[in-house]
Structure 1
Amino acid sequence: MSPYRNRLRSLVFLFTLALGPGVGILPAALAAEGPPSAPAIAQSGSGVWYEIFVRAWYDTNGDGIGDLNGVTAKLDYLQSLGVSGIWLMPINPSPSYHGYDVTDYEGINRQYGTMQDFERLVSEAHKRGIAVIIDLVINHTSDQHPWFKAALDPASPYRGWYTWAKPDTDLKAPSAAGSVAWHRNGQQYYFGGFTGAMPDLNYDDTEVRREMVKVGQFWLAKGVDGFRLDAARHIYDDLRTDTGKPETVRKNVAWWSEFRHGLQERKPDVYLVGEVTAPSPAALAPYLKPLGSVFNFPLAEQLIASARKERQGQLGELLDTTYKAFRDAAGDAFVDAPFLSNHDQERVLSQLNGDTQHMRMAAAMLLTLPGRPYVYYGEEIGMLGRKPDENLREPMRWQRDPQASGETRWKASTAKQGGEVSVQAEQDDPSSLLHFYRTLIHWRAEVPALRDGDIRVVSTHNDRLLAYERNTADSHVLVVHNLSGKTQTFVPDTKFSDVRLRTQPGVTLAKGKLMLPAYTTVVMQ
């Protein structure tokens, strides 16, 4: 048995998640460290994470806005779903509804509650074996942040915390984020890669770097298990001309290495996952060593394309390419973070034009892949949402009646879905999408190879089928997906002789030939 598998039974979940493999084994140098003070979780943990927009989640004080106590109130739901961790979108004070322009890095948005509410949430989550990470938005601040307001004075000690145009600056240069880069305040111009309301911090300034490590350490002291790092590639990727340059990537990686080192002084097992919006595995790979995990944007796009087209297409090749690039960059010390959509992208079911069979296949692929998959709130009940961004972040539907107690009303729904798309309607229906998600998530808890195994794509000679082996030292399974609406057959390797799990009835295995009904996933052992 590998060192990783020996320790999996005794170490807490977050140690495994932060330092163990998405594919591979735990490096020997790390295996000797003792258990950290993260939440203990049973060996049956799924490793699945769940993204929550607090404003849209659950309202406990009747003001129509979700709050931290609402997250606490629904921890039992999350536990029944089977998730092992939650990511809270920004909870800091902010002038915007979304919170991605922070005015106080050590405060709580008053609409969401108090610091005591947050500490209680973390404590209650840990009691249930659920880890908690929070969004850390440190590429930029709000233009209402006291630091920026002070920095407007050229004589302020905060002046160097931001970037100011010089006489030879090209004020028309586009930012790497595709926006206007330079913004005017009086007679001076400052850099804000996203909007003028979000001035970028200057990470060439030593005090900025020191302060941001302190911010991370502050929240670790409050009990969080790590951070989702917003705009992780944009720390130095400012102008469009910076994008993809080796020097830009090197400086980003150097900063995140410094950041991780500072946090590990307080919490050796801290879990970091970066938002690195890059088009290829090769572009993601350099960030794995300092961060440990990055969201897999190229894979998300291909998973949805394969589900929509009912063909594996380039997916098998992408999986091979991805994990080779990741291993080459970080050895075995990385954990992939696959997902289907998040708060910046149109919801999965909308991308799939409302086809619930395609939705199920996308979910089945996601939840049988390596790493720690992320589910966006409401995805599991089939919520719709198309751009603009506000419509991707609409109230979670708990009850059939959208006016029921606890339902948030921070904005009116544009999806116009009826009460059948709600937790109340779906929770006891064995044919519901919610039941489907719950089943797949619990598969990962039941089968160690699905949660922790490496992956080897298997040729099917049939574009309607996708197959891959998932292997740990003592758990080996074959996953086969029929992406199409017609029955397909497949001849598996003879070492896989039993059908252990299936998403649909009617699967047969006779004379070495596996028959899969339409839109079916099978796990063989």
Structure 2
Amino acid sequence: MKHAYLLPLLAGSLALACSPQPETSQQSPQGAASQWPNAVHYEIFVQSFADSNGDGIGDLRGLTSKLDYLQDLGIKGVWLMPIHPSPSYHKYDVTDYYGIHPDYGSMDDFKTLLREAHQRDIKIIIDLVINHSGKDHPWFQDAITGPDARYRDYYVWANYDSVASQLARKTVSLDSDNLTQWHEAPGNEQRYYGFFWGGMPDLNFDNPALKEEIFKVGRYWLQEIGVDGFRLDAARHIFPDDRPQDNHAFWVEFRQEMEKAKPDVFLVGEVWTPAHEAAPYLKGLHSLFNFDLGYAITRAVQSGQADSLVEEHQQIMRFYQSVTPDYIDATFLTNHDQNRIISELGGDIAKAKVAASLLLTLPGSPFLYYGEEIGMPGKKPDPNIREPFLWNLPDEDNIRTSWITPEYALDRRVRPLSLQQQDSASLYHHYRRLIHARNSSPVLALGSLRQADTRQAGVVSFVREHKGQQLLVLHNITPQPVSVALSETEKGFGRTQLATADGALLAEGIVNLPPYTSLILE
């Protein structure tokens, strides 16, 4: 039993220099440098992405029809938020780990998506929500029938008097109300544990039978269906916070079992905690989402202060390297649980461009949140950061979803993709060109990171290096133009590889950067 719970959370369009350049040793054919999982990923809430049948709800056939778009954007991996049957719009309260939500389509539709994605060299990972099930899952519906139920020990139970003595430790604030994490079940004297809310009872991983059941689920999706990996939701909450070593050990065992099923499986974990606490999870997971870097980029662009952004990233990398040198750093700006990046930046497209430039030139395997590339805004509550993707003008958009009336991603605020594709200075083209530049550069895709000697307030500057080749990267994150004198040691960087505005240039050892622009020098 898991009763240990009773023991002690840019301006301008991109240009590859001013005139066409021949391929150099720094470059390779588009996509050759960036190989999955060390590549750019795209997070999709299927419900909001593309509707193929006109019912207003995004579905797998709609997503399949947009794979060419993702391939052209330069995406090599797709993370699907939960696709399993569930009573909620978000689907994190799973009722069948082996099924596809009927609103999204059938298992045949999903297999078609996988086949078509793989033909385009795009991998698919799915959200696997195993910290908890939904309360409507047959396991839990059996468990609440009484202490002798077959699946009772798949969940965590405690007597009310034991719970009451621990409420001060186990109370959290959810949705602005003070709610206990122990919940009443009708007809039961005992209460069950649900870390997030009563609709998602935690599974009991002290029970070997439950653990094997979860391994079976993973094997099914990897071997029988053919997914390429999993995004593991709430990975630090498998066991309570005072049992971190048990959490780490579980993920080691999970990885071993999944690699037996699929040796090249990719496991990326949501461990929403500072990097020094997250790092030990890399003993079992190939990759972790780098929340600290996302916050650091956002703060820097909001304030126009470079501060210690590069040093912070280096510190995070040192934490990770202390556990394993083979980690994959899943970097991102914001995701489905956070206000969208452009809303955090006050709706400023120029700031959004330089934030994207930072993400896509720093080390890591970047994850983009759907709609980020067209500047979709959104602020909590959660449904309003998961609004429909804007493909075309309203009268011409026959694939836009309508399951929710948007409050932020409105046509008067966001130019749809079709219009941005016609404008070389759009945010969409900024993302696309940066992704293609990264995919074509071994140094940007795979290189190490060090702080540049050339430094100036308001300019984020760093050097990327891979197999003896180096790039000097400079980002002006302020609304004013700046001139930066290269240090003596870095005057050898004399050729522009990439500039995000015509006025970004190097002349006689001086780098001139217009507001919110970036320059990469060989």
Whether 1:102 and 2:86 are equivalent positions in the alignment is no
- Partners in 2 of 1:416 and 1:260 — Cα distance? 38
Residue 455 of structure 1 aligns to a residue whose secondary structure is: strand
- Partner residue, 1:183: 183
- Partners in 2 of 1:326 and 1:314 — Cα distance? 18
Match of 2:47 among 37, 42, 55: 55
Post-superposition shift, 1:494? 2.6
Query: Is the CA contact 2:505–2:519 (under 8 Å) kept in the aligned structure 1?
Result: no
Count how many residue pairs are aligned between Structure 1 and Structure 2: 475
Post-superposition shift, 1:416? 5.7
- Partners in 2 of 1:173 and 1:151 — Cα distance? 27
- Partner residue, 1:437: 431
- Partner residue, 1:251: 246
Whether 1:150 and 2:150 are equivalent positions in the alignment is no
- Partners in 2 of 1:281 and 1:404 — Cα distance? 42
Taking a change above 3 Å as real, the CA distance of residues 303 and 65 of structure 1, as seen in their structure-2 partners, is same
Whether 1:479 and 2:487 are equivalent positions in the alignment is no
- Partner residue, 1:26: none
Match of 2:403 among 402, 410, 413: 410
Residue 336 of structure 1 aligns to a residue whose secondary structure is: strand
- Partners in 1 of 2:222 and 2:409 — Cα distance? 40
- Partner residue, 1:390: 383
Q: Which amino acid aligns with 1:111?
A: D
Q: Which amino acid aligns with 2:39?
A: G
- Partner residue, 1:141: 133
Query: Is the CA contact 1:173–1:181 (under 8 Å) kept in the aligned structure 2?
Result: no
Whether 1:358 and 2:355 are equivalent positions in the alignment is no
- Partner residue, 1:517: 514
- Partner residue, 2:56: 64
Post-superposition shift, 1:361? 1.0
- Partner residue, 1:328: 322
Match of 1:503 among 489, 500, 504: 500
Query: Is the CA contact 2:95–2:138 (under 8 Å) kept in the aligned structure 1?
Result: yes
Higher-RCO chain (CA-CA 8 Å, sequence separation at least 6): 2
- Partner residue, 2:289: 295
- Partner residue, 1:77: 69
Counting only pairs closer than 5 Å after superposition, residues 272-311 of structure 1 correspond to structure 2 as 272-278=267-273, 280-311=274-305
- Partners in 1 of 2:442 and 2:450 — Cα distance? 16
Post-superposition shift, 1:140? 0.1
- Partner residue, 1:199: 201
Question: After alignment, is 161-170 or 174-183 more displaced?
Answer: 174-183
Q: Which amino acid aligns with 1:515?
A: N
Q: Which amino acid aligns with 1:356?
A: I
Q: Which amino acid aligns with 2:261?
A: R
Query: Is the CA contact 2:388–2:409 (under 8 Å) kept in the aligned structure 1?
Result: no
Q: Which amino acid aligns with 2:321?
A: R
- Partners in 1 of 2:395 and 2:409 — Cα distance? 11
Q: Which amino acid aligns with 2:266?
A: Y
- Partners in 2 of 1:177 and 1:285 — Cα distance? 25
Post-superposition shift, 1:381? 0.2
Q: Which amino acid aligns with 2:314?
A: D
- Partner residue, 2:263: 268
Q: Deviations over 1:418-445 (max 9, x none)?
A: 2652111101210100000001101111
TM-score of the two chains, using structure 1 as the length reference = 0.88
- Partner residue, 1:160: 153
Q: Deviations over 1:23-67 (max 9, x none)?
A: xxxxxxxxxxxxxxxxxx744558100000000000001101000
Taking a change above 3 Å as real, the CA distance of residues 479 and 416 of structure 1, as seen in their structure-2 partners, is closer
Q: Deviations over 1:388-426 (max 9, x none)?
A: 000000001001117731110010010163265211110
- Partners in 2 of 1:416 and 1:322 — Cα distance? 33
Post-superposition shift, 1:476? 1.9
Post-superposition shift, 1:175? 4.2
Query: Is the CA contact 1:176–1:193 (under 8 Å) kept in the aligned structure 2?
Result: no
- Partner residue, 1:10: none
Residue 450 of structure 2 aligns to a residue whose secondary structure is: strand
TM-score of the two chains, using structure 2 as the length reference = 0.88
Whether 1:121 and 2:113 are equivalent positions in the alignment is yes
**How high is the sequence identity, in percent, across the aligned residues?**
45
- Partner residue, 1:232: 235
Post-superposition shift, 1:460? 3.8
- Partner residue, 1:422: 416
Post-superposition shift, 1:475? 3.2
Query: Is the CA contact 1:319–1:457 (under 8 Å) kept in the aligned structure 2?
Result: no
Give the unaligned 5+ runs of structure 2.
Answer: 1-30, 175-179
Q: Which amino acid aligns with 1:117?
A: D
Taking a change above 3 Å as real, the CA distance of residues 177 and 379 of structure 1, as seen in their structure-2 partners, is farther
Taking a change above 3 Å as real, the CA distance of residues 412 and 282 of structure 1, as seen in their structure-2 partners, is same
Query: Is the CA contact 2:33–2:440 (under 8 Å) kept in the aligned structure 1?
Result: no
Question: After alignment, is 395-404 or 228-237 more displaced?
Answer: 395-404
Give the unaligned 5+ runs of structure 1.
Answer: 1-40
Q: Deviations over 1:362-383 (max 9, x none)?
A: 1110111111100000000000
Query: Is the CA contact 1:163–1:200 (under 8 Å) kept in the aligned structure 2?
Result: yes
Question: After alignment, is 351-360 or 504-513 more displaced?
Answer: 504-513
What's the C-alpha RMSD, in Å, of the aligned pairs?
Answer: 1.6
Counting only pairs closer than 5 Å after superposition, residues 442-461 of structure 1 correspond to structure 2 as 442-461=436-455
